[in-house]
Structure 1
Amino acid sequence: MTETILTLAQKLGVDVTAEGIETAEQLAQLRNLKCRYGQRYFFSQALSSGAALAFILANPQW
């Protein structure tokens, strides 16, 4: 299902944000499917706007 959604979005020129990434394996699978954006607890718990800005400016890499 995920692959189908990503393929359709890519053909339509639409960006997709994968929701619910909780493990490195899930992130790897999404990267293999060329999904460029993702969110959830693998990256960070919910943050205030100030904490989110500080997190982004720290430029973490996965």
Structure 2
Amino acid sequence: MAYFDAASAAPLHPVARQALLASLDEGWADPARLYREGRRARLLLDAAREAMAECVGCRPDA
């Protein structure tokens, strides 16, 4: 069974860790803003939503 919260006892998967670190480095800005960093954060957020939606079999906007 997969858990998507921080309360699970399993260590962070290396791919998930890499994605987390990349988001902290590149996606720190407010994704609702129009400046360059905000647009980059929005792209990262949308990509993460699409990836998770595909994993669980739902729409990214659900």
Same fold, TM-score > 0.5, yes or no? no
Is the helix fraction higher in 1 or 2? Answer: 2
TM-score, structure 2 length as denominator? 0.25
The normalised TM-score by structure 1 is 0.25
